[in-house]
Amino acid sequence: MNLSVGGGRVEEALRMVDRQLSKGNFKLALSLLRHPSPPALFGFAAAKQVPRRVSSVDQLHLSVTETSTLHTLLDAILHSIQLSDLFTSGQDNDDIVQHKQVVQHEAGHFLVGYLLGVLPKHYTFSTMEDKTADAHVKFFGFEFLKELEDVALSNKNSHEIKAGHRARKRKLSSTVLSKFACVIVGGLVAEHLAFGNSKGHYGDVEKLNRVLKWQQLTEDEANNLTRWAVLNTLTILHRHTKARSKLAEALLHGRSIGNCINVIEANLNHPI
């Protein structure tokens, strides 16, 4: 499906997004994605999601092959989340392999965010020559993370975020919390899809746990949300394997946010 026809309407819309992002006008950039003129973007906030009441692959009524594949992946990812020591087991010391996993990891965050309607506003990761493999994608809409960092800093002498009015400055909506949970596990899920394991990105799991604790979810509520988020994210990324792969290539070459979005749009499976 060539989305670049019709006078380059997609490219023009995304050039406008890039211009606003470069100026720090994130709300305007988000508005341009939500209401492109003329309508040209089909993937933003358009992901088909797993209903919140669904907690297992069997309830999705997929083919036998897909059910078996996703069962195995879901169990492996949840096990990795529950047992942090698995993140370092069988780790390959090849820096190039590590770098490839970092790129896939960030592509997972980016793609899930875009398809759920969360604007990626900036990304960065190390080059092949740099062996630190430091990477991240920043999103507009998750500004509460800065607030959480401030809370953690104020409680730096404690291992747990204190409950109560001072620590919990605002209540996140269930929609925002659900999107965040999916985006934050997107990197881990993408690695398992591409390589069958994760190379040690436990920081994302730790960040998710901190947010859930900050929002004072019970253990059962946190476990249920995490399980759903992994299942939902797994089905999204499994459905859009080509888009994830092509996006990883675009990220590797340092393409702009708008260009990366164009790559996503051109490689999505339809219906989304």
Q: Quick one: pLDDT band at residue 203, thresholds 50, 70, 90?
A: confident
pLDDT at 2: 42
pLDDT in tens, 206-219: 999 999 999 999 99
SS3 2: coil
Tokens of 166: 């001072």
Tokens of 127: 């080059």
Q: How many helices (H) and strands (E) does the chain have?
A: 10, 2
pLDDT at 48: 95
Tokens of 214: 């900050």
SS3 121: strand
pLDDT in tens, 151-191: 666 665 555 555 444 455 578 999 999 999 999 999 999 99
pLDDT in tens, 95-109: 555 788 889 999 999
pLDDT in tens, 42-82: 999 999 999 999 999 999 999 999 999 999 999 999 998 98
pLDDT in tens, 3-50: 443 447 888 889 999 999 999 999 999 999 998 766 778 999 999 999
pLDDT at 199: 73
* β pairing state of 135-140 and 119-125: antiparallel
**pTM for the whole thing?**
0.88
